[in-house]
Amino acid sequence: MNAMGLGFDDGGMAAFADSALGHGLPSEPAALIASAGLLRHRPEQALPLLERARALAPRHPVPLIALYRFHFYGHDLERAKAAGEDALAVARTALGPDFGDRPPTDDEARHDAAVRFYLFTLKGLAYLNLRLGELEEARLMLGELRRLDPGDRVGGALLAHVLQRHEALAAGLIDPAEGPGAYPAYGWGPEVRS
């Protein structure tokens, strides 16, 4: 997968894959993130450090992950979602314009850091949309995740089952006293269209 014309050549793609694992972050953004970590009890001081790290390394996933986690664990799900959307765009650019024309191979879904970063980010955004009550957006993301990860290598199927159960409860199709229902241990199960 080549991202020529989008700021990533084959070498840039390899660098992004390494950066998705935390490698290649310049020292100044790394130090800012480390300092912000020491200030978790002072979020008003930590956030500007994370934002500065992002500005210094805008195409590196680590500052985006740090911002996502900061907002997520601070219960600011809207801002966590915005950071996740930025991360998805960065990963999409790194993967190139042809990514998604076909689902990644099983090997890519299991071992390619950039592909896995994209898939896990998509899953995280689906989860945030569920938490925010944006069910249609969650459904779209889960549909795309199912298309790209039919083998459920990143575990998005459980979120799809949670959404299906929520909608079945809301429609009165199941009794809430039934308990959580039979979530599969692994895999997407039959596709349900609403």
The predicted-structure confidence for 44-98, as pLDDT tens digits, reads as follows 999 999 999 999 999 899 999 999 999 999 999 999 999 999 999 999 998 999 9
pLDDT exceeds 50 at position 1: no
**10-175: CATH architecture:** Alpha Horseshoe (1.25)
Structure tokens at 71: 């907002």
Query: Distance between CA 104 and CA 125 in Å, rounded?
Result: 19
Task: Note the pLDDT of residue 70.
Answer: 97
pTM exceeds 0.85, yes or no: no
Q: Which amino acid is at 137?
A: E
* pLDDT tens digits along 96-109: 999 999 999 999 98
Residue-by-residue DSSP string for 44-68: HHHHHHHHHHHHHSTT-HHHHHHHH
* pLDDT tens digits along 147-166: 999 999 999 999 999 999 88
Torsion angle of alpha carbons 115, 119, 120, 122, nearest 10°?
A: 140
Structure tokens at 6: 């989008």
- Percentage of the chain beyond pLDDT 90 is 64
Contact assessment for residue 71 and residue 77, using Cβ atoms and an 8 Å cutoff: yes
